């Protein structure tokens, strides 16, 4: 099938045919987490959305270089350039080295994304590992006349930039409105223009994370980090730049300005933004305090949660909404998603139990379903439509299993392949390991206890004792009671 993938480009505000700059190769940069605290479920939604996009591009046969950074320096409180370094602040509070904070939350981030079964990016660069690239870029921007230094801090000259460029190209906002809405901040009078932002910041004495640069001992601004790392690994111009919608107005707007001022080209051809996960309509965020952690969601240990949900049920919940729609969290929505996820997984497991017939007699055209699944994904990665198509397959599989329709070996293999491609490979869903494991263990223990009981009845005490001892040596204790044999882990 010929693929006609269309993606919504924030830059042009329309769906465009996806044509990578270099045929068959895709360069994709996604803004990663700021690792000074645990990632919340909202952050995970963005990374799961880009995982779906990454997986689909791979499925289509593109060679994808997916770069997702770790922000481990210089991200200041708020969107302005005032305030403390988040890492230094937390480090001081906990009496830790800033790098201990970074290590702890980077590992936590990886653990969580692994639970959600996301594929690792091709490169995961850190801001602290790319200070020299950032300094070099700031230097080039100064040389090109778009930045100036005051007292060791370097600012991007937005006033100069807007004379030749469209600064608000990404969001189409009115510059006058932006100026009127930007507060005059204390201690910022060294900036020439109200919208100017820092590229390099001179460290105050209390700042722990600091590096020598031509202008001062200091640290990089947040925006320059992504411009420098995307340029290093993907070139001056690459295919997709992504992140949450909340980043478009400031972070990505400034990234475009920096890259244009440095390289004289738009950095990315397609800008893709994921919508927010909300709680009672309000954006989930670290600062609003409504951000529960994935771990709390899995255990159910949070006042907003009635019970826990497995990572795969939550991934399914996220994929049931299109990435550009908001997704509101509720227990009811998660309950419904869990049921849907289980129906899908049960149908896949039934496929192994179906005995093929000599001939196929089904009321569905499988080629048609496959084409409709591709059409859903080709239409800006529309996972909710894809899921609806797959439920048509669930109905078919159940009906075959119940003996109402029949398939031969070849058709059964075709159905298995279709479910594998779209559910496992593209949507990244798998049978919940935890639930699956405990089910298997319960079944195996029933079997072993049954064999031991038989041995005892046959007065084969050598075998029954051996079973007890060998289970004990691997940490499982058997307890005989009048209700039967119970077991527990020691
Ligand atoms: P941060 O660690 O705050 O820089 O955020 C990491 C990523 O998560 C960014 O791409 C944000 O846009 C995204 N993000 C933050 N809050 C939410 C939310 N409530 N829903 C979806 N994505 C979010
Ligand atoms: Zn970024």
251 is in an annotated binding site: yes
For residues 301 and 275, what is the distance between their CA atoms, to the nearest angstrom? 26
Any ligand 1 atom below 6 A from CB of 291: no
Ion ligand 2: residue ranges with CB closer than 5 A: 31, 226
The reported pTM is 0.87
> From the CA of 43, how far away is ligand 1's center (Å)?
4
Mutate to test the pocket of ligand 1, among 47, 246, 251 (most ligand atoms within 8 A of CB): 246
Return the CATH number of 19-274, one of 3.40.50.20, 3.40.30.10, 3.40.50.1580, 3.40.50.620.
3.40.50.620
Any ligand 1 atom below 6 A from CB of 69: no
pLDDT band at 433 (very low <50, low <70, confident <90, very high): low
Token duo for residue 318: 């996220």
Closest ligand 1 atom to residue 46 Cα is 22
Asked if the model's pLDDT at residue 83 lies above 60, the reply is no
Helix (DSSP H) and strand (DSSP E) numbers for the chain: 16, 16
pLDDT band at 185 (very low <50, low <70, confident <90, very high): low
Asked if the model's pLDDT at residue 80 lies above 50, the reply is no
Of 126, 137, 64, which Cα lies nearest the Cα of 101?
126
Rg (CA), the chain: 27
For residues 121 and 28, what is the distance between their CA atoms, to the nearest angstrom? 10
- Report, as an integer, the average pLDDT of 215-229: 96
3-state secondary structure of 243: strand
**Per-residue confidence (pLDDT) for residue 397, from 0 to 100:** 98
Tell me the ligand closest to 323's alpha carbon.
Answer: 1
CATH class of 278-426: mainly alpha
Any ligand 1 atom below 6 A from CB of 284: yes
Nearest CA to ligand 1 atom 1: 33
- Report, as an integer, the average pLDDT of 341-347: 95
For residues 441 and 431, what is the distance between their CA atoms, to the nearest angstrom? 15
Nearest CA to ligand 1 atom 14: 43
Torsion, CA 299, CA 304, CA 306, CA 310, rounded to 10: -40
């Amino acid at each position: 099938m010929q693929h006609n993938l269309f993606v919504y480009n924030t830059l042009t505000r329309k769906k465009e045919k996806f044509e990578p700059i270099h045929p068959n190769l895709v360069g994709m940069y996604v803004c990663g987490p700021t690792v000074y605290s645990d990632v919340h479920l909202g952050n995970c939604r963005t990374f799961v959305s880009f995982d779906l996009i990454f997986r689909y591009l791979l499925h289509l046969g593109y060679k994808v270089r997916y770069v997702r950074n770790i922000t481990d320096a210089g991200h200041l409180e708020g969107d302005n350039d005032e305030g403390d370094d988040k890492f230094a602040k937390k480090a001081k509070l906990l009496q830790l080295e800033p790098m201990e904070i970074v290590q702890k939350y980077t590992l936590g981030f990886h653990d969580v994304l692994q639970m959600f079964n996301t594929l690792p990016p091709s490169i995961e660069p850190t801001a602290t590992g790319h200070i020299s690239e950032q300094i070099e870029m700031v230097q080039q921007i100064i040389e090109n006349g778009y930045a100036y230094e005051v007292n060791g801090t370097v600012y991007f000259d937005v006033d100069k930039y807007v004379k030749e460029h469209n600064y608000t190209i990404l969001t189409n906002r009115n510059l006058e409105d932006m100026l009127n809405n930007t507060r005059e901040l204390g201690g910022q009078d060294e900036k020439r223009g109200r919208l100017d932002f820092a590229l390099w910041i001179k460290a105050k004495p209390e700042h722990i994370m600091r590096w020598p640069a031509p202008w001062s001992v200091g640290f990089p601004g947040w925006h320059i980090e992504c411009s420098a790392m995307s340029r290093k690994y993907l070139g001056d111009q690459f295919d997709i730049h992504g992140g949450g919608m909340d980043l478009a107005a400031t972070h990505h707007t400034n990234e475009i300005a920096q890259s244009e001022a440095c390289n004289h080209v738009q950095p990315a051809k397609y800008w893709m933004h994921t919508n927010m996960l909300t709680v009672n309509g309000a954006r989930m965020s670290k600062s609003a305090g409504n951000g529960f952690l994935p771990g709390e969601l899995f255990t159910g240990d949070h006042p907003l949660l009635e019970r826990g949900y497995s990572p795969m049920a939550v991934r399914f919940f996220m994929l049931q909404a299109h990435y550009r729609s908001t997704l509101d969290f509720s227990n009811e929505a998660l309950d419904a998603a869990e049921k849907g996820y289980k129906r899908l997984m049960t149908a896949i497991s039934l496929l192994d139990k179906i005995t093929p017939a000599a001939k196929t007699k089904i009321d569905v055209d499988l080629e048609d379903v496959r084409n409709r699944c591709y059409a859903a994904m080709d239409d800006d990665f529309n996972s909710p439509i894809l899921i609806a198509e797959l439920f048509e397959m669930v109905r078919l599989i159940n009906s075959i299993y119940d003996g109402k329709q029949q398939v031969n070996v070849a058709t059964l293999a075709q159905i298995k392949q279709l479910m594998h491609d779209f559910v496992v490979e593209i949507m990244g869903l798998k049978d919940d390991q935890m639930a699956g494991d405990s089910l298997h263990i319960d079944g195996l223990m029933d079997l072993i206890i049954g064999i031991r009981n038989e041995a005892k009845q046959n007065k084969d005490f050598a075998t029954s004792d051996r079973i007890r001892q060998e289970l004990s040596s691997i940490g499982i204790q058997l307890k005989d009671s009048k209700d039967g044999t119970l077991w527990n882990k020691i």
